[in-house]
């Protein structure tokens, strides 16, 4: 069975609307893929600062961090679920991705340019936004960032499933938006 990496960055966990959308989609993907889940909330993430960069450039990488990066590299498909925070992704997810940015693991270089070293051909990003900001809007820096990172690491074509304006509508409308996003996601994964 092919491998799928699910990066769950739904920081509010059981309160998360993003998680409500992601869970049935990932459950459906379990029929096609061997799913490994990394829950960002459960990780002890060191911040990528000077000491860590110096260690990394000397080839010293924490084995746990290396195993995360190798999971990203080796997955056939990747799903990332994360709420829209401060016009982008939560810092904890960015931190995780920075930790996984390891030369000769997630990307390579030929001394002129960096290029991707990941196997995944498709990357699904599931998100919810408080304000009425659409995917691809200049204010929406979640999908643009993941798209750029996917170019760098070679994680495949990005598709985004989102619900927006959730902080400014009734509970009933929120539920409708969540249901619509789940249906969109289930449609996308028919060919994922």
Ligand X SMILES: Cc1cc2nc3c(=O)[nH]c(=O)nc-3n(C[C@H](O)[C@H](O)[C@H](O)COP(=O)(O)O)c2cc1C
- Member of 73, 94, 122, 129 binding ligand X (CB under 6 A): 129
- Member of 34, 51, 167, 173 binding ligand X (CB under 6 A): 167
Residue 128 found at the interface with ligand X (CB under 6 A) = yes
| Cα 110 from Cα 38, distance rounded (Å) | 31
The first and second tokens of residue 149, run together, are 């990172």
- Member of 52, 87, 92, 152 binding ligand X (CB under 6 A): 87
Site for ligand X in 94-123 (CB under 6 A): none
- Name the residue among 75, 52, 86 with its Cα closest to residue 153: 75
Q: How far is the CB of 17 from ligand X (least distance, A)?
A: 4
How many whole angstroms from its chain centre is CA 167?
22
Residue 84 found at the interface with ligand X (CB under 6 A) = yes
- Member of 102, 118, 133, 146 binding ligand X (CB under 6 A): 133
Pairing of strands 114-116, 157-163: unpaired
Q: HEC profile for 74-142?
A: HCCEEEEECCCECCECCHHHHHHHHHHCCECCCEEECCCCEEECCCCCEEEEEEECCCCCCCCCCCCHH
Site for ligand X in 25-54 (CB under 6 A): none
Specify the residue, 72 or 133, whose C-beta has the smaller distance to ligand X.
Answer: 133
Question: 83 and 12 in contact (C-beta within 8 Å)?
Answer: yes
Q: How many residues bind ligand X (CB under 6 A)?
A: 18
Specify the residue, 96 or 107, whose C-beta has the smaller distance to ligand X.
Answer: 96
Residue with tokens 């499933």: 161
Q: Which residues bind ligand X (CB under 6 A)?
A: 10, 12, 16-19, 83-87, 128-131, 133, 166-167
């Amino acid at each position: 069975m092919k491998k799928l990496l699910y990066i769950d960055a739904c920081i509010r966990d059981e309160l998360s609307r993003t998680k409500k959308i992601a869970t049935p989609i990932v459950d459906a993907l379990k029929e096609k893929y061997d799913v490994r889940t990394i829950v960002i909330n459960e990780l002890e993430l060191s911040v990528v600062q000077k000491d860590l960069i110096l260690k990394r450039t000397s080839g010293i990488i924490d084995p746990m961090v290396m195993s995360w990066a190798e999971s990203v590299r080796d997955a056939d498909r990747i799903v990332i679920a994360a709420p829209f925070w401060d016009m982008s992704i939560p810092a904890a997810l960015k931190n995780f991705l920075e930790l996984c940015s390891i030369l000769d693991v997630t990307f390579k270089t030929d001394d002129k340019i960096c290029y991707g070293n990941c196997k995944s051909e498709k990357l699904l990003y599931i998100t919810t936004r408080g304000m009425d900001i659409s995917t691809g809007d200049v204010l929406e820096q979640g999908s643009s960032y993941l798209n750029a990172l996917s170019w760098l690491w070679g994680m495949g074509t990005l598709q985004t499933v989102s619900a927006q304006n959730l902080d400014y509508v009734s509970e009933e409308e929120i539920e409708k938006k969540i249901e619509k996003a789940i249906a969109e996601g289930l449609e996308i994964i028919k060919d994922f």
